[in-house]
Amino acid sequence: MATSGELARLFEPRSVAIVGASTRPGKVGHDILKNILSSGYGGEVYPVNPHADEILGKKCYPSVLEVPGGIDLVVVVVPAASVLAVIEECGKKGIKLAIVISAGFKESGPEGIERERRLGELARQFGMRIVGPNCLGVMSTSNGLNTTFARGMPRRGNVALMSQSGALATAIIDWSLQQGIGYSKFVSFGNGVDVGVVDLLRAWQDDPETTVIVAYIEGLRDGPEFMEVARQVSAKKPVIVVKAGGTQAGARAVSSHTGSLAGSEQAYNAAFLQCGVIRANSMEELFDLAIAFAYQGPPRGRSVAIVTNAGGPGIMATDAVERARLRLASLDPSTVQALRKRLPEASNFYNPIDVLGDADADRYVYAGEHLLRDPNVDSVLAVLTPQAMTRPRETGEKLGSASARSPKPVLACFMGGQAMAEAQEVLNRHKVPNYPYPERAVQSLAKMADYREWCDEPPDPPVLIAADKEAVRAVLAAARQENRVNLGETEAREVLTAYGLRVPESYLARSAEEAAAQAEKIGFPVVMKIVSPDILHKSDIGGVRVGIRDQQEAQDIFELMLLRVRRYAPEAVIRGVLVQEMIQAGREVIIGSTRDPQFGPLVMFGLGGIYVEVLKDVSFRVAPFGERHARRMIEEIRSAPLLRGARGERSSDVEAIVRGLLTVSQMVTDFPEIVEMDVNPLKVKEPGAGAVAVDARITISEAEEAGDGYAVHRFQ
């Protein structure tokens, strides 16, 4: 059997019953039966309907219980109100797989929600796996199984597709017939009461008929479980996902920078990136990628050679290559020599290779073949425009054979409509993906290269950071005791210290004299900050002063600060003024974390100040992550060159930032009750000199949701 596990028989049932099969053409219960009977499926088919003796020449049974012998799979098309009773009968008969096509569940109001809940319960009670409800069903092209009411089957091929939306399916089938992409399996799982994305990934990971998995999803039930399984499956075959809609904002009020910058989009992007899932940003891209991966293997590197018969499109392709973080291969001298031998003098012999508008198929493919043989080339992009001498069909044939002989991927961009229609078919036959515009070809190639890099990477386990967890537990327990969700400034500093992060020497002053004495003890210059549980952004109301030079100034600032706060925030409870060691020089960065409803702890990195707030120049990862991802978070922000000391800026201790990221990653993994935190800023000194957390804010969950309900990866 091609697929293994609990869902194997879903794709290869020996017998199928259709409950709600109908005698009337045009009814769903009729069309499904007709599809099953006419798509080449060879197993037993049992229509079930108490009001008919025979449908489409098949003996009809009043209930599944009356069907002689076992049933591997039941397809349920009765009205919603009868579904539960039918499933109970199926359970009694020992049926282990059901597809509920019927609508009228959670998508249709309170009654439907309750019905769906009970459907889920029945599944668990009988150990039955249920696809749906409110779905289109299942297709398997190798054995002609079609439990849908869609017209026609897609072409056979090696792409398995799962979709939360049923309506999409019909479009996909139609498109497949036209574009030549073939499918192995198709599942529309609708509301997904039971079988969902993760189950299907598992079912297809070892299916030899499936080399590419494609998914259209609107949400996920269990982010961490998805990540774990997707990571495992991605290592075997590409998983391409388009994620649509439904960005629900967290119910919790957002009190940190990280909380306001992190949306579910960022969480999905980070999660997909970490587990090797290839994200498509549109349906168009989903199919662009599906066809690229289905036809060609990913390139072993990022060097691209372009062959073109026209200058303009060659330049466009070149631009696209650079934007996509691929690079133009610099050709081996022997390749240039070979090209010079056969190409007209006016050609361009350096990448992109322009074989000129009058090139026939032989000249064009001669260049292509030499590029494929060049050791500096990882992939070839073949751009062709219809000109007087162009022979698209013949060029497609020859290019296709050249591609088949080479292990390197060839992607085509034969530009044009009518003139290229024939060539398109030829390229499909040779499994050369063809795109109408160079940008789409290049984008697909770039994501293939990303995927290959992900596959080649060694694992990136979280780095264990020594921490005094007892101390943290005590701090959190004390806050809980007082029903506080926001930790005080001192408490936050204790938590950071327990995880080995450096904080400035600080004392709380309750009078001007105390402030002066403490400042003296620390040594000038010092920083003073208002301490109040009611003030989140201290500097906004003049609650932070840096560079205080002597005792007199410390006293003055103390008075001034209290005055100011009383004026601008008269309600605020003031605990005193913090007198703090001033951390000289250093670049300010922010490391924060928030909890995503799907994926749990999400860690953010960015430069401090305006870079975060105005430019939103930040990066994200789902915790816990290892050193490689910590480094990438730093590299990913646009202002990363500043940290490396570009343009006369001082370079910063990147290692200290890496350590900071790993520390926060572990902290929020260890303590799921930390729902939000910001270290803002972490002042990062010159290389080797470390970093100091001069301000931190930590928010914990309300006591009753202790543990938070989020499953958290634990690698230890």
Contact between 682 and ligand ADP per CB under 6 A? no
- The minimum distance between CB 609 and ligand ADP, in angstroms, equals 7
The SS3 assignment for 527 reads strand
Q: Based on the number of CB atoms within 10 Å of its own CB, is 299 exposed (0-12), middle (13-18) or buried (19 or more)?
A: buried
Contact between 588 and ligand ADP per CB under 6 A? yes
Contact between 569 and ligand ADP per CB under 6 A? no
Contact between 676 and Mg ion per CB under 5 A? no
User: In the complex with ligand ADP, which residue's Cβ is closer, 213 or 509?
Assistant: 509
Pick from 75, 130, 412, 694: which binds ligand ADP (CB under 6 A)? 694
Q: Which does 538 bind (CB under 5 to 8 A by kind): ligand ADP, Mg ion, none?
A: ligand ADP
Pick from 280, 583, 602, 637: which binds ligand ADP (CB under 6 A)? 583
Cβ atoms within 10 Å, residue 517: 16
Determine if residue 519 is left, alpha or beta; phi over 0 gives left, psi from -120 to 50 gives alpha, anything else beta: alpha
Q: Which of residues 421-460 bind ligand ADP (CB under 6 A)?
A: none
Give the bridge partners for 379, in sequence order.
304
Tokens representing residue 638 in the block:
């646009």
- The minimum distance between CB 227 and ligand ADP, in angstroms, equals 33
In degrees, to the nearest 5, what angle opens at C-alpha 101 toward C-alphas 96 and 104?
A: 115
User: In the complex with Mg ion, which residue's Cβ is closer, 271 or 589?
Assistant: 589
Cβ atoms within 10 Å, residue 169: 22
3-state secondary structure 591-618: EEEEEECCCEEEEEEEECCHHHHCCCCE
Contact between 538 and ligand ADP per CB under 6 A? yes
Size of the site for ligand ADP (CB under 6 A): 17
Q: CB within 8 A of 680, min separation 6: which ones?
A: 257, 588, 590, 591, 592, 608, 612, 695, 696, 697
Pick from 154, 504, 600, 624: which binds ligand ADP (CB under 6 A)? 504
Contact between 537 and ligand ADP per CB under 6 A? yes
Contact between 695 and Mg ion per CB under 5 A? yes
User: In the complex with Mg ion, which residue's Cβ is closer, 159 or 693?
Assistant: 693
Binding mask 43-62 for ligand ADP (x = CB under 6 A): --------------------
| Residue pair 587/683 in contact by the 8 Å Cβ criterion | yes
Torsions phi, psi for 527 (to 5 deg): -120, 145
Name the segment binding ligand ADP (CB under 6 A); options: 149-157, 549-557, 579-587, 589-597: 579-587
In degrees, to the nearest 5, what angle opens at C-alpha 179 toward C-alphas 160 and 286?
A: 50
Q: Which does 546 bind (CB under 5 to 8 A by kind): Mg ion, ligand ADP, none?
A: ligand ADP
- The minimum distance between CB 565 and Mg ion, in angstroms, equals 16
Cβ atoms within 10 Å, residue 110: 8
Specify the pairing of strand 54-55 against strand 44-48: unpaired
User: In the complex with ligand ADP, which residue's Cβ is closer, 213 or 548?
Assistant: 548
User: In the complex with Mg ion, which residue's Cβ is closer, 308 or 680?
Assistant: 680
Contact between 506 and Mg ion per CB under 5 A? no
Contact between 680 and Mg ion per CB under 5 A? yes
Tokens representing residue 62 in the block:
């009043």
Helices (H), 411-533: 421-429, 438-456, 469-481, 489-498, 512-522
Q: Where on the chain is the footprint of Mg ion (CB under 5 A)?
A: 680, 695
Q: Where on the chain is the footprint of ligand ADP (CB under 6 A)?
A: 504, 527, 529, 537-539, 544, 546, 580, 582-583, 588, 608, 680-681, 694-695
